[in-house]
Amino acid sequence: MPIRLLLCCLLALPAVAVADAGQGQFMGYQLGTRYPAPGSNVEVMTTGNLLIAAENPTKPADIAQVSLIATPESRTIGGIIAASWYATEAEAREVARRYAELLRAKYGDWALGREVMDASSRVVEVNFDKAPHSLQLRLVRDEHDGGDMWRFSMSLGWTGESNEWRAWQDMAATEHASAKATERERLLNEADIRGL
């Protein structure tokens, strides 16, 4: 009887509750899938890709915001970022330490490393890698809500040498070129270019 109850409980869990970064799933989103037409919370990054404030993330309570990096036309997801802001570095470091321990427990077979230190020799970035995925934890000073705060973030993407990363980059470049050509054509069609 207890085994049946356990199986019923497991089958009743939503799919996102057992999401796995090893499958490219993070915060309720999947790398390589298309984000539906976003609302008004979209920024165009300097790279030409979109930074989308996710509208329905599945996230822990202490994560303030989930953002997606997506290609400009098809909105294909190439990065998933979860972030929170804290008043002090000590607070942010404590949250970062807790998540590092949690992720180390969940993804114990992922390579831990590629640490980055700041000028004071304090670790501000650490990566968990298992090809083709990379899960990065970062701690940086950041302007947020009009104040100087500390930002802790976790992001899932593909490793830079993976076929998946190269394919996403190629798709993004093709979409950027297409968007520029469309904008150039629109500009010429709408402008008065007599005598030019």
Q: What is the pLDDT of residue 42?
A: 76
Q: How would residue 18 be classed by pLDDT, with cut points 50, 70 and 90?
A: low
Q: What are the E-state strand segments in the chain? A: 25-26, 29-30, 42-44, 50-53, 65-70, 77-86, 111-117, 123-130, 133-144, 147-158
What b/e readout covers 175-186, taking b as 16+ CB neighbours within 10 angstroms?
bbeeeeeeeeee
Q: What is the pLDDT of residue 114?
A: 74
Model confidence at 12: pLDDT above 80: no
Q: What is the pLDDT of residue 38?
A: 66
- Could you tell me the sign of the dihedral formed by the alpha carbons of 71, 77, 83, 89, in that order? negative
Alpha-carbon dihedral of residues 39, 47, 67, 111, nearest 10 degrees? Answer: 160
* pTM assigned to the model: 0.80
Name the more confident of 76 and 1: 76
Model confidence at 144: pLDDT above 90: no
Q: What is the pLDDT of residue 70?
A: 94
DSSP assigned state of 67: E
Nearest to 33 by CA among 45, 44, 19, 18: 19
For residue 118, the SS3 value is coil
Model confidence at 148: pLDDT above 50: yes
